[in-house]
Chains A and B, each alone.
Chain A
Amino acid sequence: AQRVTQPEKLLSVFKGAPVELKCNYSYSGSPELFWYVQYSRQRLQLLLRHISRESIKGFTADLNKGETSFHLKKPFAQEEDSAMYYCALSGPRGSGTSYGKLTFGQGTILTVHP
């Protein structure tokens, strides 16, 4: 069974401090991994996906297959980063019905204080 665990429900940091949102997953094989973000009163939106290897809004995420983790990091947090963050996975291309089906973690609320 596929599962995503975000161990921290709440995370508070001060502006300019580094931030790391943890994500661990369980999947038989090599899943596709994503981070989604939901800012206040906005819809859920894709922040980044591991195959893109991009840095979006200063955030990066490294896939660690050995530890089955996909932690989201930013070296210097900004107040506008305050939001709900969800880690999600889906089966890889060719995995049949699990391809494109997202399994989400419970989310982490990040608050960046001034």
Chain B
Amino acid sequence: DAGVTQSPTHLIKTRGQHVTLRCSPISGHKSVSWYQQVLGQGPQFIFQYYEKEERGRGNFPDRFSARQFPNYSSELNVNALLLGDSALYLCASINRNTEAFFGQGTRLTVV
């Protein structure tokens, strides 16, 4: 099953550190989106990329950044981690019909 893959699945970081999360979309999909899901809430939009260009940004501080590579994989970077950044980070691979296919997510814990 060549679905959306995210790495790592879990990680623990200390406040103030930096983290990089990775996502490989479904083959043929040129767009990815990132979402943050805090416990007990629905996913919240962070970024959308299409053909390496940022197409949308949610209401997140500049500590959050992302990029998309020529092979359409993507990275989400978070600097100066805060305790409140602890969440499940979801990557979605978007097809031509704007249907989103989600990865399993990366569980980030900031201590």
Contacts and interface: CB of A to CB of B under 8 A. Distances in A.
Contacts of B3: 43
A107 B56 contact: no
Contacts, number: 57
Nearest to A32: B98
Contact of A97 (B4, B40, B55): B55
A102 B33 contact: yes
Interface string B1-19: 0011000000000000000
A101 interface: yes
A43 B103 CA distance: 6
A105 B56 contact: no
Q: Range of interface residues on chain A?
A: 20 to 34
Contacts of A104: 35, 42-44
Contacts of B102: 43-45
B56 A97 contact: yes
Interface size grouping (class) on chain B: 20 to 34
A70 interface: no
A100 B33 contact: yes
Nearest to A44: B102
B31 interface: yes
Contacts of A103: 45
Interface of A: 4, 32, 43-46, 49, 86, 88, 90, 93, 97-107
Given A49-B99, A102-B45, A106-B42, 13 more contacts: A43-B102, A43-B103, A43-B104, A44-B43, A45-B102, A86-B42, A97-B48, A97-B56, A100-B31, A100-B100, A102-B100, A105-B42, A107-B41
Interface of B: 3-4, 31, 33, 35, 40-45, 48, 55-56, 58, 90, 92, 94, 98-105
16 contacts: A32-B98, A43-B102, A43-B103, A44-B90, A45-B102, A46-B100, A90-B98, A97-B56, A99-B98, A100-B31, A100-B56, A101-B56, A101-B58, A103-B45, A104-B35, A104-B44
